[in-house]
Amino acid sequence: MVEIAVIDYDMGNLHSACKGLEKAGAKPKITDSPREIEQAAGVVLPGVGAFDPAMQQIRRRNLEKPIKEAIASGKPFLGICLGLQILFEASEEGQQEGLGVIPGQVKRFLAEPNLTIPQMGWNQLELTQTDLNLWKGLPRQPYVYFVHSYYVQPLETEITAATVTHGSQTVTAAIAAGNLQAVQFHPEKSSLNGLKILANFVKKVSKNENLRE
């Protein structure tokens, strides 16, 4: 059973993410220790809340360097919800600089008649990187669970792995670039489709760990 570090920066329900990873066959470990993040076979960066407090907490706990080093190391890395957004350079939600791992911005949904902001509830993904291991075994337009008012807008559009349409706006719902993958929705709240996504990530971690041994 592979050990996956779930980064604790006091933003979000870490236990829900851990429960989903356990069901998917992993051994999750909640941690803010740079050493434990470095030693883990894979890393998950979850998050619920606002951009600025998240970045303030990451810097207060000296986690910016360990996160960037984990991504640069090539080990499987999964960002979830706010954990996707803070990978970017900046957000319209606040003033703090993001981690800047991914060039691009975090944008707010534009107001439309009868459009609910935040987007809260089930919506369908349109998979754009259809051969991505994370999507293996899913239908072409799987339903997943969202709670967000902001979305990411990567500068390099080819890293978009899935989109979602809310009102008239079609936006990035997931990104993938090598070992780095991140999703705007909550797989741990997305029933069987979410569990399948987490299981696919755990399989990727296991395969990567076996190659290292």
Question: Is 15 known to be catalytic?
Answer: no
Task: Considering the candidates 18, 148, 166, 186, report the single residue annotated as catalytic.
Answer: 186
Among candidates 11, 96, 101, 102, which has minimal Cα distance to 55?
Answer: 96
Task: Considering the candidates 18, 148, 166, 188, report the single residue annotated as catalytic.
Answer: 188
Task: Considering the candidates 18, 81, 148, 166, report the single residue annotated as catalytic.
Answer: 81
Question: Is 186 known to be catalytic?
Answer: yes
Question: Is 148 known to be catalytic?
Answer: no
| DSSP state string for the chain | --EEEEE-SS-S-HHHHHHHHHHTT-EEEEE--HHHHHHSSEEEE---S-HHHHHHHHHHTT-HHHHHHHHHTT--EEEETHHHHTTEEEETT-SS----SEEEEEEEPPP-TT--SSEEEEEEEEESSTT-GGGTT--SS-EEEEEESEEEEESSGGGEEEEEEETTEEEEEEEEETTEEEESS-GGGSHHHHHHHHHHHHHHHHHHHHHH-
Enumerate the active-site residues. 81, 186, 188
